[in-house]
Chain A
Amino acid sequence: MSRRKFRKFKNGAFLALSLIATLAGIACLSAILWTLISHGIAGLSWDLFRQMTPPPGSQGGLLNALYGSAVMTLLGILIGSPIGVLAGTYLAEYGHNSRLSILVRFINDVLLSAPSIIVGLFIYEIVVVRMGHFSAIAGAISLAVLAIPVTLRTTEDMLNLVPIGMKDSSAALGAYPWRTIISVLYPAARSGIVTGLLLAIARISGETAPLLFTALNNQFWSTNLNAPMANLPVVIFQFALSPYKDWQNLAWAGALIITVSILILSVSARVLLALLQSKGQSAR
Chain B
Amino acid sequence: MAIINPRHAAKQLIYERVFRGATLTAAIMVLVILGGVGVSLVRGSWPALSHFGFSFVTREIWNPVTDEFGALAPIYGTVVTSAIAMLIAVPAGFGIALFLTELCPPLLKRPIGVAVELLAAVPSIIFGIWGLFVLAPLLQRHVQPWLIEYVGVVPGIGKLFMGPPYGIGVLTAGFVLAIMVLPFIAATMRDVFDTVPPMLKESGYGLGATTWEVIWHVVVPHSRVGIVGGVMLGLGRALGETMAVTFVIGNAHRISSSLLAPGTTISSSIANEFTEAVGDLYTSSLIALGLLLFMITFSVIAAAQAMLRRIERRASLAL
Interface positions of A (Cβ within 8 A of B): 7-8, 10-11, 14-15, 17-22, 24-26, 28-29, 31-32, 35-36, 39, 82-87, 89-91, 93-95, 100-101, 103-104, 106-111, 113-119, 121-122, 124-126, 145, 148-149, 152, 173-174, 176-179, 181-182, 202-203, 205-209, 212-213, 216, 233, 236-237, 240-241, 251-252, 255, 258-259, 262-263, 266-267, 270
Contacts and interface: CB of A to CB of B under 8 A. Distances in A.
Interface string B263-303: 00001001100110000000000010010011001100110
What 10 A-B pairs are tightest by C-beta distance, nearest first?
A115-B240, A206-B123, A21-B95, A86-B26, A90-B23, A178-B19, A11-B210, A87-B26, A18-B95, A125-B40
Nearest to A237: B125
A161 B192 CA distance: 21
A269 to B, nearest CB: 9
A100 B20 contact: no
B41 A240 contact: no
Nearest to A20: B95
A10 B210 contact: yes
A3 to B, nearest CB: 12
29 contacts: A7-B210, A17-B95, A18-B94, A19-B103, A22-B112, A29-B119, A31-B130, A32-B122, A85-B26, A86-B23, A87-B27, A90-B26, A106-B302, A110-B34, A111-B34, A115-B293, A121-B290, A122-B40, A125-B40, A174-B4, A205-B123, A206-B123, A206-B125, A208-B242, A213-B275, A233-B125, A240-B132, A240-B247, A255-B125
Contact of A178 (B15, B125, B215): B15
Contacts of A8: 210
Given A32-B122, A95-B27, A178-B15, A116 B96 contact: no
A118 B240 contact: yes
Interface of B: 1, 4, 12-13, 15-16, 18-20, 22-31, 33-34, 36-37, 40-41, 43-44, 91-96, 98-100, 103, 112, 114-119, 121-130, 132-134, 179, 182-183, 186, 210-213, 215, 233, 236-237, 239-243, 246-247, 267, 270-271, 274-275, 287, 290, 293-294, 297-298, 301-302, 305-306, 309
Contact of B247 (A24, A101, A178, A241): A241
B131 to A, nearest CB: 10
Main secondary structure of the interface of B (DSSP, over half): helix
Given A22-B99, A266-B117, 18 more contacts: A11-B213, A15-B211, A29-B119, A36-B130, A86-B22, A87-B27, A93-B23, A94-B20, A110-B301, A114-B294, A114-B301, A115-B241, A121-B287, A125-B287, A178-B19, A179-B12, A209-B271, A233-B123
Main secondary structure of the interface of A (DSSP, over half): helix
Contact of B30 (A35, A89, A148, A203): A148
B129 A87 contact: no
Contact of A35 (B40, B128, B134): B134
Contacts of B1: 173-174
B96 A21 contact: yes
Given A15-B103, A209-B271, A270-B114, A110 B243 contact: no
A10 B100 CA distance: 19
A90 B121 contact: no
Given A11-B210, A267-B118, A212 B271 contact: yes
B125 A236 contact: yes
A116 B41 CA distance: 14
Contacts of A28: 119, 179, 182
A77 to B, nearest CB: 15
Given A21-B91, A86-B26, A35 B133 contact: yes
A208 B240 contact: no
Contacts of A91: 27
A239 B16 CA distance: 52
Contacts of A124: 274
Nearest to B309: A106
B16 A21 contact: no
B247 to A, nearest CB: 7
Contacts of B297: 114-115, 118
B98 A18 contact: yes
Contacts of B210: 7-8, 10-11
Nearest to B243: A208
A79 to B, nearest CB: 11
Given A145-B33, A176-B15, A216-B275, A110 B305 contact: yes
A111 B33 contact: yes
Given A29-B119, A255-B126, A125 B43 contact: yes
A10 B66 CA distance: 60
Nearest to B29: A83
A35 B267 CA distance: 26
Contact of A22 (B40, B95, B130, B246): B95
A100 B243 CA distance: 35
A118 B41 contact: yes
